[in-house]
Structure 1
């Protein structure tokens, strides 16, 4: 008999976020179970119901954002602030270019 698949909580949360991005709030535990290779019952036993998983995902993202913010150079004067703004603008994809162009024009 083969050993059951071991999937970390972090892997489950990463897959859950992916499904949420793809399907929106309509994602189901069945979707998640299929993606991670665990049974729906195992997910419920480990995490609780769908709402509990949503709360856990939100908590995970808040903690990841806090860690990201803690590592930003905002307390390093003008150069740190400029680096922070570059990170923000860079994360905006195509919209970052629009913002940068408007700033360069002074509008």
Structure 2
């Protein structure tokens, strides 16, 4: 008897990610099974339901975001590293349909208590990694707020850019995001004195 090939969670979750990018929240377990070339029963046995699959996908994203962002830091330095890690994180969305489908799934996830909680963990992990890069670049960003605040602002800018670009995909997402993040960082590069209120001449 031929021994069945081992099917890893990574294979199934990767297939699910491709399906979400293509179909958005309307996807079914059958769609994922076809993409992964497995039986629907395999997915049902492993994850229980579509909701269970989404939970597993989000948990995996939380686990992966740290390694992915740390791995991209070595490719750039200083303030450029801050832009680089965020652009690299959003690069898979640099296609209008893919971005729209993933953002539609995100909107659906936010309506679910468990998935919303996991998304909070995801953003906390992302912001922690961005904050670490900002601390390393502190010498060239004297006007930046405290690292956790700066990380929250930059992550929000990146998210907003992705949403805006998915509706108006002019140029590439990565190029747009680099420009938007660089604009924020340009203000933080200025000496702190430039951010102080000017005194009226006596």
Same fold by TM-score greater than 0.5: yes
Distance change in 2, residues 1:34/1:100 (3 Å): closer
Which whole-Å CA distance do the structure 2 matches of 1:81 and 1:101 have between them? 9
> Which structure 1 residue ranges, 5 or more long, are not aligned?
74-78
- Check the 8 A contact 2:29/2:40 in 1, yes or no: yes
Which whole-Å CA distance do the structure 1 matches of 2:33 and 2:5 have between them? 12
How far off its partner does 1:67 sit? Answer: 2.4
Is 1:99 equivalent to 2:183 in the alignment?
no
Per the alignment, residue 53 of structure 1 pairs with: 53
Superposition map of 1:42-81 within 5 A:
42-71=42-71, 73=73, 79-81=77-79
How far off its partner does 1:80 sit? Answer: 3.9
- Check the 8 A contact 2:13/2:57 in 1, yes or no: yes
- Tell me the TM-score normalized by structure 2: 0.42
Distance change in 2, residues 1:80/1:68 (3 Å): farther
Distance change in 2, residues 1:63/1:101 (3 Å): closer
How far off its partner does 1:69 sit? Answer: 3.9
How far off its partner does 1:35 sit? Answer: 1.2
Per the alignment, residue 198 of structure 2 pairs with: none
- Check the 8 A contact 1:19/1:27 in 2, yes or no: yes
Structure number with higher relative contact order (C-alpha < 8 Å, ≥ 6 residues apart): 2
Distance change in 2, residues 1:42/1:88 (3 Å): closer
1:93 match: secondary structure? helix
- Tell me the TM-score normalized by structure 1: 0.72
> Which structure 2 residue ranges, 5 or more long, are not aligned?
92-172, 188-202
**Aligned residues, how many?**
101
Q: Structure 1 stretch 94-103 or stretch 25-34: which is displaced more?
A: 94-103
Which whole-Å CA distance do the structure 1 matches of 2:87 and 2:41 have between them? 42
